[in-house]
Structure 1
């Protein structure tokens, strides 16, 4: 589900987003503790396994929710700081949305004033990095390492979130598109980039990384 900035009032929009993130947090907590504190692996649904160059529908291990026919090792119980790391990762999206909702209320009372508050962005990034460091304090299986790399990749979304996007990424994208607008071949990529820009500029879930 995508929530557009111009279709709903600011308060209503963030209320819906906060509600959806709350549901996601609850479901992830259920998965985490139902699997005896194991890392929540993405995706949690049926996957196709490759065995002897034949593609077969894998059967999920009901204990950890991964294909039992996979050659990867399963995930292990998280304890200590690694346990805290998983909780930080689960709650971070909701904390970020809560901070953004709070800031949006301040924004609505200060018309004609540029809104570029770094507090939600910095706190969210700090939580993600703390979870990343704490996760490394416990050895990980190959499957967990792949999930950790996937989460590291999601950190790139911070470049497309306000206010970092307005101050840093957007000027670079503008400069690139302007410089390549009339160049052969690369102008096609620039045009495609411009076509996709409204999605990360106007929709929250395109850059949530959650």
Structure 2
């Protein structure tokens, strides 16, 4: 926001500098994790299971007596004749939940949740990391060269989208060829990250030439239809307010 007030050239210099710093940090993480793909968020939540014996023991180390544990007997309802399953006792709740909630990924060591990438897979990851820098530099070039229509130029948008889509296809090909079982053999964390990156392609509808030439016109048509209608005109006003902030202070690589 501060760079925006100093002119277009300063704004784009700051954007490119920020993306270079972010890319450097991501490449450093790629190195520190021995070429494992980056995640978003970088530290996914994970609940470590507690052994049932730890729950069965009391705070002073004395094990709960057998009489306090639930008996393995079922209760039959008199009218329907259906049997209700036995509820676990308080000392067996942890084992009961673990047996029904945990999956294979929940008990794997952290390093086994993400496989290392090499060759084509590592190239795809580097492309994915560098795509914001390349896109920001292309936008800087065209916006400074043609201040009036630079944001409407399709060259930066096509370049950025091609890099991201190409990185995704290379990564999928590498996973299918090198991983046992192909894409079906991925861990849950890898499948979730691949799915998130796929949905991330939708953000290109809010960037660059596509936003300026297509999305913005569609937003204007929607807000125009809502302007003279009771209550709905409030929704149109909110959309127009956010559109102003998006146009003035949003930088194209903020969601990359």
Aligned residues: 191
Distance 1:170 1:4, change over 3 A: farther
1:4·1:203 contact (CA, 8 Å) conserved in 2? no
- Residue 117 (1) aligns with residue 163 (2): no
Query: What does 1:90-109 align with in structure 2 at a 5 Å threshold?
Result: 90-108=129-147
Structure with more contact order per residue of length (Cα contacts < 8 Å, sep ≥ 6): 1
1:157·1:208 contact (CA, 8 Å) conserved in 2? no
Greater CA drift, 144-153 or 33-42: 144-153
- Residue 165 (1) aligns with residue 200 (2): no
Q: What are the ranges of 5 or more consecutive residues in structure 2 without an aligned counterpart?
A: 50-93, 98-105, 176-182
Q: TM-score, normalised by structure 1?
A: 0.78
Q: CA deviation at 1:46?
A: 6.8
Q: Distance between the aligned counterparts of 1:135 and 1:120, measured in 2?
A: 23
Greater CA drift, 83-92 or 36-45: 36-45
Q: TM-score, normalised by structure 2?
A: 0.65
Matched with 1:208 is 254
Q: CA deviation at 1:114?
A: 3.4
Distance 1:203 1:156, change over 3 A: farther
Matched with 2:116 is 77
Q: CA deviation at 1:118?
A: 1.1
Matched with 1:16 is 14
Q: CA deviation at 1:92?
A: 0.2
1:200·1:206 contact (CA, 8 Å) conserved in 2? no
Matched with 1:190 is 236
Greater gyration radius: 2
SS of residue matched to 1:201: helix
The structure in which a higher percent of residues are helix is 2
